[in-house]
Structure 1
């Protein structure tokens, strides 16, 4: 609908915001002058709120969290026009989205055995048509720029190094050629 109103996306640029450090001073000033509009007060409404918080953070309740994540209906979200938010709504509408996304990033896909970060690294390697050695930092920059990677260069660097490790115990069939020092069984 937005694309139709604005004649497509030509001339528009999407900026990814990750924390306040991404915002300019003018954007921060604009946001904080209307802080009451953006603020949500959390309210403890019942014993169920405490039960849900316990379920979300108690290590012994992993099975309950699996059921909780599987029961989430896509599209369920918090109504930000309301002035307050119950812990129940926060846990069941916001925190569950984070939990599902975290699992998606952390657990390899059954189809190809790759995590999204590893898939983006391979995409970057194929797009750059890598045939010769390249420094990890150079590949990090290229992958971050061309694959919509938003989770920090240190994390991406660690994933690239992990994909090149070939020593016994690395729990890995290296998909990248380990040209240089990529760790040993003793040092990791």
Structure 2
């Protein structure tokens, strides 16, 4: 299995590099990730749950960063065991390139091998699952780093601005709470109006 993709991120290259090396951010962004714990220099123990077609399993593995060229690139070498589901191992090359002062182009090329039940379900399903997991990771990662970038910009310009992003969650939870007829409709209209203003 091989994957090559490019993503554009709305923050500087240095900030992207820092985020890619922040285990808390990675844990929040990797679908099904339960833990990432340091295991020596530039190495981590990872536990995650994943579903590949009909096969669902909890994987435990190790991830090692090699050929580190901060803040431009590194290699990730990984291997994981999923019990009866089988195993996965492979590597990825991650490269960052500045796209102006406030954006970064991230390109990665990954290759992996799977064995056990995972190998039996067919490469098309495995490739599809890998692309879906990677896509979800970058969707979450982009949202995380973009949110932090906005907060940093707002704090630099105006101390009261960071309080504003909390509004959507509060109004969203209000709109989804159990209400009847007119009240729910009224709230829905106010939520729509809030979105159109922002």
Given the two structures, how large is their TM-score scaled by the length of structure 2? Answer: 0.23
| Structure with the largest fraction of helix | 1
Given the two structures, how large is their TM-score scaled by the length of structure 1? Answer: 0.24
| Structure with the largest fraction of strand | 2
